[in-house]
């Protein structure tokens, strides 16, 4: 094969693109990745990973502050934010170096620059053209703003929020989705005075209502000024502060973080030229195997419909690569993709909320227990966490699982696995769980849904 010719060219090296490239190479395809910035994409360099690194420092600080409850006196704790940020950079460097190492190990070429499709369905990077058997577009997303407000100066996006050089005195965050809740929860505990402004009537509005309630309580405990139904207007960014109004009331912060969602990063990709169709929301139209309207061109991750989550992008990358290689692959069940939000309290969920299940006409049963119902909740110091099972009564189907509290992001996986292995909540209720663990609360909530809660 000629030097500038590949079986598969992946544009973008985030968690969608790099996983797709590795899977393609594993299956014997001569593969290249085009990346214009740093390997690892936004998730590893600017979003998921930096966020979790900083949240980990905030979580540790919270534990130290609560150590007294466990009989430990810790004095003189200070936040050295430069060191927190230095750790973030080390974490990012370790993980992105790992991806670069995996490219090398799998003989994947990295082409530096901005990739775009040509009318022939090949890839152009600057002046160079590369022949491609297939192309996987994996360029991710760009931040959206609110009407009339441009990002810049003291009005920042989520990426800038995680890279602030110091803990701001006053931070206002617009949007209480996963990003906004995480940013608010991190900075409030590291010392900022935080205002969290959500247009809808509750925080994490796509989560189950019971979960939103527990999260709102947790955020308020962190002294976050949570405002729902909040309309931010009149944003004026000055040198020293940002001023704005909320429902007519004047307010001010050192930084205003815009965390109101993201849009597909399709600019400059040559989609129209190559005949790749977009839907009415500006997302790339794909079928179940991530094929676009242009033969040989695939798109994955934040470019296509479905939740904008790294692990969803990775799985779509695997499906696309396996399809290109002519291998059997698996369908992706979008509702069963776990959602993990790492604010305090943690949230893990999948499937339908109780309201959605009722709206869809299921004969719904609900099982709910607090972590305090099982020994682990009391032993480990989180009695207020909540597990909620949304099930269907006739066959015990697990329609949705919703967990808020310590380690919720880990605990949710059990319910996802059981569902995808075709079990229901009656099975979870009868699977032996280790004692004393928080996972016993998942078992008890399943028993509650099945009508025989033991502890409670
Ligand atoms: P989002 O769409 O999840 O949340 C945006 C929030 O902003 C919504 O609650 C919306 O109602 C609110 N909003 C919109 N316009 C507003 C306005 N003018 N004023 C006030 N509020 C307004 O978007 P996000 O939090 O930016 O996240 C983007 C994507 O990244 C999502 O798919 C999210 O799930 C994902 N993400 C995931 C994680 C995680 O898995 N831990 C973390 C961060 C982001």
- pLDDT tens readout for residues 329-362: 999 999 999 999 999 999 999 999 999 999 999 9
Q: 3-state class of 140 per DSSP? A: coil
β-pair type (141-143, 262-264): antiparallel
Most ligand 1 atoms within 8 A of CB, residue of 175, 201, 219, 311 to mutate: 175
Mean pLDDT of the chain: 97
Atom of ligand 1 nearest to the CA of 143: 26
Instruction: Say yes or no: CB of residue 263 within 6 Å of ligand 1.
Output: no
Measured in degrees and rounded to the nearest 5, phi and psi for residue 303 equal -75, -20
Atom of ligand 1 nearest to the CA of 262: 28
Instruction: Say yes or no: CB of residue 371 within 6 Å of ligand 1.
Output: no
Atom of ligand 1 nearest to the CA of 259: 26
Contact 32, 109 (CB under 8 A): yes
Would you tell me the crossing angle of helices 439-450 and 408-420 to the nearest 10 degrees?
50
Distance CA 329, CA 414 (A): 23
What confidence tens digit (pLDDT) does each residue in 203-252 have?
999 999 999 999 999 999 999 999 999 999 999 999 999 999 999 999 99
Residue 202 banded pLDDT, cuts 50, 70, 90:
very high
Instruction: Say yes or no: CB of residue 50 within 6 Å of ligand 1.
Output: no
Between the CA of 180 and the centroid of ligand 1 the distance, in Å, is 7
Between the CA of 453 and the centroid of ligand 1 the distance, in Å, is 35
Q: Where are the domains of the chain?
A: 5-142+263-334, 155-260, 345-450
**Cα–Cα separations (whole angstroms), residue 352 to 277, 331, 398:** 30, 19, 9
Looking at ligand 1, which residue's alpha carbon is closest to its atom 14? 260
Least confident of 1-15, 294-308, 433-447: 1-15
Q: Return the bridge partners of 278, or none.
A: 284
Instruction: Say yes or no: CB of residue 149 within 6 Å of ligand 1.
Output: no
Q: In what order do the strands lie in the sheet with 339-341?
A: 339-341, 347-351, 397-404, 386-392, 364-370
Atom of ligand 1 nearest to the CA of 203: 9
CATH topology for 155-260 is FAD/NAD(P)-binding domain (3.50.50)
Average pLDDT over residues 94-120: 98
Shared fold status for 5-142+263-334 and 155-260: yes
Q: What is the pLDDT of residue 1?
A: 64
Between the CA of 399 and the centroid of ligand 1 the distance, in Å, is 24
**Domain 345-450 class?**
alpha beta
Across 411-447, b (16+ Cβ under 10 Å) vs e yields bbebbbebbeeebbbbbbbeeebeeebbbbbbbbbbb
Whole-prediction pTM value?
0.97
Instruction: Say yes or no: CB of residue 49 within 6 Å of ligand 1.
Output: no
Instruction: Say yes or no: CB of residue 232 within 6 Å of ligand 1.
Output: yes
Looking at ligand 1, which residue's alpha carbon is closest to its atom 4? 177
Between the CA of 273 and the centroid of ligand 1 the distance, in Å, is 31
Residue 456 confidence (pLDDT) above 90: no
The CATH number of 5-142+263-334 is which of 3.30.470.20, 3.40.50.150, 3.50.50.60, 3.40.960.10?
A: 3.50.50.60
Residue 286 banded pLDDT, cuts 50, 70, 90:
very high
Distance CA 372, CA 381 (A): 9
Instruction: Say yes or no: CB of residue 340 within 6 Å of ligand 1.
Output: yes
CA-CA-CA-CA dihedral for 10, 15, 20, 22, to nearest 10: 100
Q: What is the pLDDT of residue 364?
A: 98
Contact 382, 408 (CB under 8 A): no
Would you tell me the crossing angle of helices 48-65 and 81-105 to the nearest 10 degrees?
140
Instruction: Say yes or no: CB of residue 347 within 6 Å of ligand 1.
Output: no
What sections of 38-157 are H helices per DSSP? 41-45, 48-65, 81-105
Measured on CA atoms in the order 421, 18, 31, 12, is the torsion positive or negative? positive
Task: Quote the tokens at residue 243.
Answer: 């001023």
Residue 104 confidence (pLDDT) above 70: yes
Looking at ligand 1, which residue's alpha carbon is closest to its atom 9? 177
Q: Is 51 left (phi over 0), alpha (psi -120 to 50) or beta?
A: alpha
Q: Return the bridge partners of 130, or none.
A: 123
Residue 3 banded pLDDT, cuts 50, 70, 90:
confident
List, by residue number, the catalytic residues: 435
Q: What is the pLDDT of residue 304?
A: 98
Atom of ligand 1 nearest to the CA of 204: 9
């Amino acid at each position: 094969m000629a030097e500038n010719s590949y079986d598969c060219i992946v544009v973008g090296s985030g968690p969608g693109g790099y996983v797709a490239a590795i899977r393609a190479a594993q299956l014997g395809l001569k593969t290249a990745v085009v990346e214009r910035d740093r390997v690892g994409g936004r998730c590893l360099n600017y979003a998921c990973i930096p966020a979790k690194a900083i949240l980990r420092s905030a979580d540790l600080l919270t534990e130290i502050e609560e150590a007294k409850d466990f009989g430990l006196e810790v004095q003189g704790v200070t936040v050295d934010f430069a060191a927190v940020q230095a750790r973030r950079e080390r974490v990012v460097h370790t993980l992105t170096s790992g991806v670069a190492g995996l490219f090398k190990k799998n003989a994947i070429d990295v082409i530096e620059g901005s990739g775009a499709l040509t009318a022939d369905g090949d890839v152009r990077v600057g002046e160079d053209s590369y022949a491609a058997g297939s192309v996987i577009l994996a360029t991710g997303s760009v931040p959206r703003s609110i009407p009339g407000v441009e990002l810049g100066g003291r009005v920042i996006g989520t990426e800038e929020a995680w890279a602030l050089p110091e803990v701001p005195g006053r931070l206002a965050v617009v949007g209480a989705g996963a990003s906004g809740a995480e940013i608010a929860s991190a900075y409030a505990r590291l010392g900022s005075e935080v205002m969290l402004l959500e247009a809808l009537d509750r925080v994490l509005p796509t989560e189950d209502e019971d979960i939103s309630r527990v999260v709102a309580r947790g955020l308020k405990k962190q002294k976050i000024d949570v405002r729902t139904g909040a309309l931010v207007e009149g944003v004026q960014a000055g040198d020293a502060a940002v001023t704005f109004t909320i429902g007519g009331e004047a307010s001010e912060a050192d930084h205003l973080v815009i965390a109101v969602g993201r849009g597909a990063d399709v600019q400059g990709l040559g989609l129209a030229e190559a005949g790749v169709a977009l839907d009415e929301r500006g997302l790339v139209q794909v079928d179940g195997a991530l094929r676009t309207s242009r033969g040989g061109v695939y798109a994955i991750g934040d470019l296509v419909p479905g939740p904008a989550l790294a692990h969803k992008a990775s799985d779509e990358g695997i499906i696309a690569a396996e399809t290109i290689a002519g291998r059997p692959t698996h369908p992706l069940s979008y509702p069963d993709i776990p959602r993990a939000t790492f604010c305090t309290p943690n949230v893990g969920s999948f499937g339908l909320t109780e309201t959605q299940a009722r709206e869809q006409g299921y004969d719904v049963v609900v099982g709910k227990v607090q972590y305090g119902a099982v020994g682990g909740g009391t032993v480990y110091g989180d009695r207020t966490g909540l597990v909620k099972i949304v099930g269907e009564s006739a066959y015990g189907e697990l329609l949705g699982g919703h967990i808020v509290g310590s380690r919720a992001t880990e605990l949710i996986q059990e319910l996802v696995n059981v569902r995808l292995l075709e079990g229901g909540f009656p099975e979870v209720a009868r699977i032996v769980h280790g004692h004393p663990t928080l996972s016993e609360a998942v078992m008890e909530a399943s028993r509650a849904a099945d009508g025989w809660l033991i502890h409670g």
